[in-house]
Amino acid sequence: MRNPIIVALDVPSSDQALRLARLVAPNVGAFKVGKELFVSAGPDFIRQLRATGAAVFLDLKFHDIPNTVAKAVAAATRLDIQMLTIHAGGGAAMMRAAEGAAQETAASLGRPAPLVLGVTVLTSFNDAGLAELGISDGVEKHVERLALLAAGAGLRGLVCSPLELAPLRRLLSPEIQLVTPGIRTGADPSDDQKRTLSAGEAVRAGATWLVIGRPIYAAGDPAEAARVLWESLGK
């Protein structure tokens, strides 16, 4: 079985991130680099992380006109990352341009294309927040609409909350990869994550990849926490 655990490197410095990555690498499948770390440590940090042999998920959630997003995706692909995010709300043309740029750039380098993941509705939104934007359908329906739009535009994966896994699996073809944060073990406090599943429950509900941050990096022994999580999946 491929290790589906992606560790969110939500730590302030590249030194801390590299230390954490080396510590947990034997028991995880990839590392997620978000806006804070990328804005402070940049492409050099991505190159250092890739040099350890780790797979990298660049979570910058691009959303702009298609041409601009395509160029950003091409640049990310040249960094040899394995996954990246764009906002599905950027529309079908933007998503097609992003997927096309990933495919073309990777082909020109003789590498597999990174997985371009669509982000549907941020979990910070509720129905009232969407209504303020003129979207009266509610979160559930809007997530489904954007997921179908993303799949129709050629994206091969989506980010979704644990509770969206089952409905999206019913809606989408099985090849679509689903990446889900909000993973907690029974023992953890769920901190600010309100809707959580355990790693095993999320995989059974159809997750392809699990993004896990605090249960690993804030554990007393991150390497052991990663090992226990990986083992809980019956590796």
Q: Is-catalytic flag, 32?
A: no
Consecutive H or E run containing 86: strand 83-87
Token readout for 168 is 């999206």
Q: How far apart are CA 200 and CA 207, in angstroms?
A: 9
Choice among 61, 71, 141, 235 that is catalytic: 61
Say whether residue 157 binds ligand C5P (CB under 6 A). Answer: no
DSSP single-letter state for residue 11 = -
| 69 vs 210 by CB, closer to ligand C5P | 210
Say whether residue 213 binds ligand C5P (CB under 6 A). Answer: yes
Contact 168, 160 (CB under 8 A): yes
Enumerate residues 16-55 that contact ligand C5P by CB under 6 A.
34
Residues 6+ apart with CB under 8 A from 180: 159, 160, 161, 162, 164, 165, 197, 202, 207, 209, 210, 211
Min separation Cβ 222 and ligand C5P, Å: 12
Say whether residue 212 binds ligand C5P (CB under 6 A). Answer: yes
Consecutive H or E run containing 203: helix 199-204
Which of 185, 191, 189, 196 has its CA nearest to residue 224? 185
Say whether residue 176 binds ligand C5P (CB under 6 A). Answer: no
Min separation Cβ 182 and ligand C5P, Å: 6
Say whether residue 193 binds ligand C5P (CB under 6 A). Answer: yes
Say whether residue 211 binds ligand C5P (CB under 6 A). Answer: yes
Residues interacting with ligand C5P, by CB under 6 A? Answer: 8, 10, 34, 123, 161, 181-182, 193, 211-215
The residues annotated as belonging to the active site are: 61
